[in-house]
Amino acid sequence: MADDCVKLISADGFEFIIDRKCAMASGTIKNMLSSPGQFTEAVQNEVTFRDIKAIVLEKVCKYLYYKVRYSNTKDEIPEFPIDVEVALELLMAADFLDC
């Protein structure tokens, strides 16, 4: 895996490989990856979320790209679409991930 990428693993075993910069947009992931100790997450650039399903984690990844893309720009920011079915679990995941 490239050095500027981070792998997020969902509860059902799906692996999502995203840019490190986008992963850092989540406070929780940022802390996990840059903690001063030799935690496995920091060493391997991988974080496993045993409580977050793939559907939700995929939406989270898309949001992280959206956040990085539109932070600090004066462009018109399009709405981020969220399906109602995913909304509740997405809310819980977002709260946990601080993003």
Partner 1 sequence: MVAITLRAKRLKQVYFVSADTSDTVLALKGKLAKMVGGGKEAATIRLQVPAKTEQGKFNVLEDPAVLEQLGIADDAVVYFIYSIDGTPDGNWEPVQIIEFESLNDDGDETVDLKGKGHA
Distances in Å between the Cα of 3 and the Cα atoms of 40, 42, 61 are 15, 12, 18
Residue range at the interface with partner 1 (CB under 8 A); choices 11-19, 24-32, 34-42, 91-99: 11-19
Would you state the structure tokens that stand for residue 99, as one six-digit string? 């993003």
- Closest CB to partner 1 among 86 and 94? 86
What is the DSSP code (8-state) at residue 12?
T
Identity at 43, one-letter amino acid code: V
The piece of 24-32, 33-41, 85-93 that touches partner 1 (CB under 8 A) is 85-93
71-76 contacts, C-beta under 8 A, 24 or more apart? 71/25
Query: Closer CB to partner 1, residue 30 or residue 62?
Result: 62
- Binding footprint of partner 1 on the chain (CB under 8 A): 1-2, 5, 11-19, 22, 53-56, 58, 61-62, 65, 69, 85-86, 89
